[in-house]
């Protein structure tokens, strides 16, 4: 039985017309990055033109999570009128976005400045569905983390020195995972 005092990183999602909504609870971490990536891709494939990420209940984000957000932003920007909004930012989460340059491909909105058109869905928490993280193989996780960090370097060349060693490690990990399981490559 899980410790009732411990909360887990979670995503809640909803789609309303041409807008997808994602609420992050606790941390935007590598643990919820795969469901984030999958939901974002599926929503875009189904015609969503705007994705709104609500960080009102988010206490922090890791680089994998932000790299997945960058990948979603790249896909949206490649479309006509595609936009990524990141709303209800605290000073801390706003700073994290700026540090890696994500604020250059997303529309950041501090807490209290969320566009009015998004508020009815964001305030109706019962309309949002919890995303299950699911079980990922080591290879799947390593590939997703590598892609996320490559997105961050594509986003800003200033990120290369930050993640050079991480990228080297992840490339080696992906290679090793593929060797260990050649049938699932």
Is residue 99 a part of any domain in this protein? yes
Model-level pTM?
0.92
The answer to whether residue 159 is domain-embedded is: no
Which CATH number goes with the domain that contains 81?
Answer: 3.30.750.24
Per-residue model confidence (pLDDT) at position 136: 82
Domain containing 33 equals 10-133
Rounded Cα–Cα distance for residues 8 and 67 (Å) = 20
Query: For residue 125, what pLDDT is reported?
Result: 67
Q: Please report whether residue 27 resides in a domain.
A: yes
Domain annotation covers residue 179: no
When pLDDT is cut at 50, 70 and 90, the band that residue 133 belongs to is: confident
Asked if residue 75 belongs to a domain, the reply is: yes
Q: What is the pLDDT of residues 82-128, one digit of tens each?
A: 999 999 999 999 999 999 999 999 999 999 999 999 988 888 767 89
Question: With left for phi above 0 and alpha for psi between -120 and 50, is residue 134 left, alpha or beta?
Answer: left
Domain annotation covers residue 121: yes
Q: What is the pLDDT of residue 124?
A: 78
Domain assignment present for 43: yes
Q: Quick check: is 153 in a domain?
A: no
Q: How many structural domains is the chain composed of?
A: 1
* Residue 132 pLDDT: 83
What is the structure's pLDDT at 2?
Answer: 43
Give 56's contacts (C-beta < 8 A, 6+ positions apart). Answer: 23, 87, 88, 111, 122
pLDDT, tens only, 64-88? 999 999 999 999 999 888 999 999 9
């Amino acid at each position: 039985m899980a410790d009732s005092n411990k909360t887990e990183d979670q995503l809640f999602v909803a789609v309303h017309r041409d807008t997808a909504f994602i609420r992050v609870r606790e941390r935007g971490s590598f643990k919820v990055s795969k469901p984030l990536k999958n939901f974002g891709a599926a929503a875009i494939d189904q015609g969503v033109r705007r994705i709104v990420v609500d960080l009102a209940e988010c206490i922090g984000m890791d680089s994998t999570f932000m790299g997945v957000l960058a990948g979603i932003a790249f896909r949206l920007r490649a479309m006509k009128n595609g936009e990524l909004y990141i709303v209800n930012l605290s000073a801390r989460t706003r700073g994290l976005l700026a540090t890696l340059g994500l604020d250059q491909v997303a529309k950041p909105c501090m807490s209290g400045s969320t566009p009015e058109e998004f508020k009815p869905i964001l305030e109706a928490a019962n309309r949002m569905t919890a995303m299950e993280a699911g079980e990922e193989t080591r290879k799947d996780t390593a590939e997703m983390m590598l892609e996320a960090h490559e997105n961050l370097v594509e986003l800003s060349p200033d990120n290369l020195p930050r993640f050079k060693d991480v990228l080297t490690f992840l490339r080696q990990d992906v290679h090793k995972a593929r060797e260990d399981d050649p049938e699932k490559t």
